[in-house]
C-alpha cells in the first residue's frame, strides 16, 4: 500500500439519469484534476426519484451505471466505487448495489446492500426501502489492493450496524467505503458521529461519499461527504453543496494509529454476523 489521494464525491442527484451521470463525470474529473486515484460516488448517484419510477427504469439505470463506471475508470485511470444503484433481482424488486471498478474497467468487487432503510422519522417522512429493494444475502467483501490497501464495501444505512464493520476489519479492511444518501433530518445528528465511530473502533480510514440538497418533493439529503482517518480525525468535508472531499490515505498513519491503539489485537472474541 502506498500513500495516495482519495475523493468522496458529493452530488445532488434527481430523477434525470443523464443529468446525474453528467454531474458525476464533472465531479470525477474535478477529483482527478486534484490528483485523486481512488474516487467514490454516493448512493443513488445515477437516480434519486420516485420509487415506482425507479422500479420501472431499474434495468436501464443498472446498464447505464455499470457502463458509466467502467468508462470513467478507464478514461481517467482510477479505481472508482459506484455507491448504490438498482440492479434487477427477483419478485419484481432489485438490489441496491455498490460496484468497485479498476483502472482497466474491470469489476473488482460487488455488494448488495443488506440493511434496508425502513423508518418513520419524527419530521413526518416515511421510508420503506424494502418496498422495492431486496436485501442482499452476502456480507460485503474486502478487496485487497497492493497499492490502495484493503477496501471494505458498505452502503449508507449499514453504518448504523457496527458488527458489519467489525467483520470487515477482521477480514483485513484498512479503508471503509460508506456511500450514502443520508436524510437531512438524521444526518444533522448522526452522520458525522457514526462515521467517526466506525473509523475509531476499527482503526480504519472511512471514505464517505454523499448526496446533498433537495432531490424531489420532500426528499432532502444532509451532505457533508467526508474522509475520516483511523483516529477519527476529519480530513476533508465537502460541506452542503455539490463537490468533492479529498484527502491523503497514508499507510504510515494507519500503522501509527494501530500501533498506538492496538484495539483490534485486544479482542477476546471473533465477530460473526449471520444473515
Catalytic machinery residues: 43, 113, 156
Q: How far apart are CA 23 and CA 29, in angstroms?
A: 10
- Are the C-beta atoms of 103 and 74 separated by less than 8 Å? yes
Helices in the chain by DSSP H: which ranges? 17-33, 51-76, 162-170, 184-202, 251-260
Q: How far apart are CA 98 and CA 57, in angstroms?
A: 18
Q: Which residues contact 264 (CB under 8 A, 6 or more apart)?
A: 169, 170, 202, 203, 258
User: Which residues share a beta bridge with 87?
Assistant: 95
**If we measure between CA atoms, which residue out of 34, 110, 35 comes closest to residue 69?**
110
Helix (H, G, I), strand (E, B) or coil at 265: helix
Question: Using CA of residue 162, residue 163, residue 164, residue 166, what is the dihedral sign?
Answer: positive
Amino acid at each position: 500500500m502506498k500513500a495516495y489521494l482519495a475523493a468522496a464525491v458529493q452530488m445532488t442527484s434527481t430523477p434525470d439519469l443523464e443529468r446525474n451521470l453528467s454531474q458525476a463525470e464533472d465531479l470525477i474529473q474535478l477529483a482527478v484534476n486534484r490528483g485523486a486515484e481512488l474516487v467514490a460516488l454516493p448512493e443513488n448517484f445515477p437516480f434519486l426519484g420516485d420509487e415506482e419510477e425507479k422500479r420501472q427504469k431499474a434495468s436501464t439505470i443498472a446498464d447505464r451505471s455499470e457502463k458509466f463506471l467502467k468508462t470513467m475508470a478507464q478514461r481517467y485511470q482510477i479505481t472508482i466505487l459506484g455507491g448504490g444503484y438498482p440492479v434487477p433481482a427477483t419478485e419484481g424488486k432489485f438490489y441496491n448495489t455498490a460496484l468497485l471498478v479498476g483502472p482497466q474497467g474491470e469489476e473488482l468487487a460487488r455488494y448488495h446492500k443488506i440493511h434496508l432503510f425502513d423508518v418513520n422519522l419524527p419530521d413526518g417522512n416515511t421510508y420503506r426501502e424494502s418496498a422495492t429493494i431486496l436485501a442482499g444475502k452476502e456480507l460485503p467483501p474486502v478487496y485487497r489492493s497492493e497499492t490502495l490497501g484493503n477496501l471494505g464495501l458498505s452502503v449508507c444505512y449499514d453504518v448504523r450496524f457496527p458488527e458489519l464493520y467489525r467483520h470487515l476489519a477482521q477480514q483485513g479492511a484498512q479503508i471503509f467505503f460508506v456511500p450514502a444518501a443520508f436524510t437531512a433530518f438524521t444526518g444533522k445528528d448522526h452522520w458525522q458521529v457514526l462515521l467517526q465511530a466506525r473509523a475509531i473502533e476499527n482503526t480504519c480510514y472511512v471514505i464517505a461519499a454523499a448526496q446533498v440538497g433537495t432531490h424531489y418533493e420532500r426528499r432532502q439529503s444532509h451532505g457533508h461527504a467526508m474522509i475520516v482517518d483511523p483516529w477519527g480525525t476529519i480530513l476533508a468535508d465537502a460541506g452542503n453543496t455539490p463537490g468533492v472531499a479529498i484527502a491523503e490515505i497514508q499507510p504510515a498513519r494507519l500503522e501509527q494509529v494501530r500501533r498506538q491503539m492496538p484495539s483490534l489485537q485486544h479482542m477476546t472474541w471473533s465477530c460473526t454476523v449471520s444473515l
